[in-house]
Structure 1
Amino acid sequence: MKKNNLPLSTDKGTHKTNAPLNRRSFLGYAGVSVVTSALILSGCKDDEGNIGLPDTGVNLGSGDTGILNYAYALEQLEAAFYTQVIQTKYSGMTAAEEQLLTDLRDHEVAHRDFFKAALGASAIPDLEVDFSAINFSNRTSVLGTAKTFEDLGVSAYNGAGKLLTDANLLLIAGKIVSVEARHAAAIRSLINPNSADFSGDDVVDAATGLDVQRMPGDVLMLASPFIKTKINANNLPTT
């Protein structure tokens, strides 16, 4: 996994989510060939005109491009969060916790940079995040936020999958959401060791065995306290 330096600000408030990742690393991690990436790029071209309307915020676009930008926005948020966690470690962080959180950082950076490269000219700009409500020196605050982000990410992919029309993109989304779910379980196990909370009934329906799903509007509303940049999701597909 990628081990590059991550030149984000150590400020615990607002900053841009612009740390780079080696192209070979993130394509290899996602399990997607360069050919598949070219297919994604070609599928995004029709929607380039929907990006970045200044009077309505950052426009995610429409169709599959819009859904990719939606995922890209969430991955920017998670990558920035875990980068900050490792840059300013909370008091009492064990070596095992540091390794786990570093792995999560690397995964989220890989996801973020994969979407950025796949979208090409259709990618939204780097978002400005707001972590002023998080106490990065406190384990409870950090892990509680990580739990929120990971559970939200899983529900976001679950809800957005049906909105994609390209089967190749759906396959990639399925690979990423499975990793996000592993993250969610790992964080829950850190918070409550030796418990069944890794798949608690707040995220997995006991009757169906299925995880929670949320539509983009609901996800962006829940994520909005942590994203300073205004996001316009009005053109995203709904069915």
Structure 2
Amino acid sequence: MERRMFMRYAGATAALTTLLFATTSCDEDGDDMPMDPTAVDLGKGDTGILNYAYALEQLEAAFYAEVVAKSLGLFSQTEQQIMQDIKGHEGIHRDFLKAALGTSAIRDLEVNFSSINFNDKNSILTTARTFEDLGVAAYNGAGKLLENAGFLTLAGKIVSVEARHAAVIRDLISNGTFSDSANNQGLDPAMMPADVLAAAAPFIKTKISANNLPK
């Protein structure tokens, strides 16, 4: 999808999602599970799932912002445009979810990219592949936990873009490997929130509690 068209889509649907969120109760019966008082609680119901997606989009957006700021010289002109486009998309995803959540959005997370060598192209692309594969698996796994059909539709639109990111990053690493993440049925993997957050934890300094997410 062209960047300009995607930005128009994001602006229009952010307003729609905010309306949906305001008119839909995302709370579930029962007490909240205890959590680390220093951790950011994602919340429960659809609010929790959207905050979960928002946390991951914060991570991806921060990573590509670093790549564009520090590492574009490592890439060809075509590759530079790809990195800039992905940075733009991830920023839109992050801002889109923040707008949808409104006052229920978690605070900005502190990232940890100390293990990434931003002077090494292979380190950057390998990390990008990790983040994109994780993002796709996260949306695939959490989609079934959403109760609001509007949120599910919008999450589907976002994950389709994430999957394209994952494909092009794989091709930059090794041409022709764009579909290597798919299984024998041609489907990308799905992961539950606890597993995704555990995989993302080395890159996020802020403690995150997913104790109250729907199961």
Q: TM-score, normalised by structure 1?
A: 0.81
SS in 1 for 2:170: helix
Q: Distance in 2 between matches of 1:30 and 1:218?
A: 31
TM-score, scaled relative to structure 2 = 0.90
The corresponding residue for 1:29 is: 10
Residue in 2 that maps onto 1:77: 59
1:116 corresponds in structure 2 to 98
Tell me how far 1:37 sits from its aligned partner: 2.8
Residue in structure 2 matched with residue 212 of structure 1 by the alignment: 189
Supply the distance in 2 between the matched residues of 1:228 and 1:33 (Cα, whole angstroms). Answer: 28
SS at match of 1:237: coil
Residue 118 of structure 2 contacts residue 124 of structure 2 at CA under 8 Å; is this kept in 1? Answer: yes
Q: Read off the aligned partner of 1:122 and give its amino acid letter.
A: S
Partner of 1:236: 213
Q: Which residue of 1 aligns with 2:158?
A: 176
1:199 to 159, 179, 193: 179
Find the counterpart in structure 1 of residue 44 from structure 2. 62
Q: How many residues align?
A: 208
- Residue 30 of structure 1: how far off its partner (Å): 6.8
Q: 1:60 to 1:72 in 2, by over 3 A?
A: same
Q: Distance in 2 between matches of 1:125 and 1:26?
A: 23
Counterparts of 1:142-157 in structure 2 under 5 Å?
142-157=124-139
Write the deviation string for residues 168-199 of structure 1: whole angstroms up to 9, x where unpaired. 00000100000000000000000002x2x211
* Alpha-carbon distance in structure 2 between the residues aligned to 1:93 and 1:113: 27
Query: Offset of 1:42 from its aligned partner?
Result: 3.4
| Higher relative contact order, chain-length normalized (CA < 8 Å, sep 6+) | 2
SS at structure 1 position matched to 2:111: strand
Of 36, 40, 43, the match for 2:21: 40
Note the C-alpha offset of 1:32: 1.7
Q: Percent identity?
A: 56
**Gaps in structure 1 of 5+ consecutive residues:** 3-24
SS in 2 for 1:198: coil
Gaps of 5+ in 2: none
